[in-house]
């Protein structure tokens, strides 16, 4: 997959996307990340990419002309790529959205900046707005990095093992079960016995139940839409009553 990132600060991407798993994915040809400097498409000698908002107010707004030129140039090369704008008002980014985006032929990610982007950019070019959550970043570059990382994990071959991303937290609506490695005992804390049993069915059962318990403890709101059987819901309710002394 090719990720085309439209930004005012392309240098920000030199480190995070050129290390570790993403570096190996790029070297293997599984992903391509191309950064495009929006200022290169500005129409004046000062390469102006922002201006004061109509109607007054604080801050600056990213201009429509440079963004339009940049988007059209990239689209000419990748007409089927989906255009994403990083924005605080966008849909909250989730594992489900990352999985869906991994099915696209390519992504064009616009990094928002300042007080926002001229609304006409969204009207003319943007397919989807995405936010990392209910907070504001200095710019959309960090959000773009997160999107590239999360989406890449679903691309075949990036993580090595087939379906490796399918066991991550949130893949089935639940948090992941606790993980352990050597040594079997550390400062009085031991690895749970089922994980040492060698019984794969018992290990799978323990992991599933621990995933349910961990989700109830840390993110109980996820249980309302998580993928669970009726038997699991009854078991979870029973354990909660026992813990409450009921």
Give the 3-state secondary structure of 163-228: CHHHHCCCCCCCCCCCCCCCCCEECCEECCHHHHCCCHHHHHHHHHHHHHHHHHHHCHHHHHCCCC
For the record, the structure tokens of 79 come out as 């007409």
Per DSSP, the residues of 26-61 read HHTTS-EEEEEEGGGG-SSTT---EEPPTT--SS-E
In three-state secondary structure terms, 111 is coil
Identify the CA nearest to 166 among candidates 154, 156, 150.
154
Q: What are the φ and ψ backbone dihedral angles of 215, each rounded to 5 degrees? A: -65, -40
Residue positions annotated with a catalytic role: 88, 115, 153, 168
Residue 178 near residue 213, CB atoms below 8 Å: no
DSSP state at residue 135: S
Count of CB atoms situated within 10 Å of the CB of 85: 26
């Amino acid at each position: 997959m090719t990720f085309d990132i439209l930004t005012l600060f392309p240098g920000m991407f030199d480190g995070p996307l050129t290390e570790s798993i993403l570096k190996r994915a790029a070297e293997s040809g599984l992903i391509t990340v191309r950064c495009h400097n929006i200022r290169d498409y500005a129409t004046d000698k000062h390469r102006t990419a922002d201006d004061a908002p109509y109607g007054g107010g604080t801050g600056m707004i990213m201009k429509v002309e440079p963004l339009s030129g940049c988007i059209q140039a990239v689209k000419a090369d990748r007409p089927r790529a989906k255009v994403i704008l990083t924005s605080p008002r966008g849909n909250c980014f989730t594992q489900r959205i990352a999985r869906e985006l991994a099915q696209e032929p390519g992504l064009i990610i616009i990094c928002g900046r300042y007080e926002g982007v001229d609304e006409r950019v969204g009207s003319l070019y943007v397919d989807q707005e995405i936010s990392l959550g209910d907070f504001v970043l200095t710019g959309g570059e960090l959000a773009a990095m997160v999107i590239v990382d999360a989406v890449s994990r679903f691309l075949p071959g990036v993580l090595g093992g087939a379906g490796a991303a399918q066991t991550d937290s949130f893949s089935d609506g639940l948090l992941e079960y606790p993980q352990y490695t050597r040594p079997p005992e550390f400062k009085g804390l031991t690895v749970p016995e089922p994980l040492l049993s060698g019984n794969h069915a018992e290990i799978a059962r323990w992991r599933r139940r621990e995933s349910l318990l961990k989700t109830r403890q840390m993110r109980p709101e996820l249980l309302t839409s998580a993928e669970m059987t009726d038997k699991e819901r009854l078991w979870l309710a029973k354990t909660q009553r026992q813990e409450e002394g009921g």
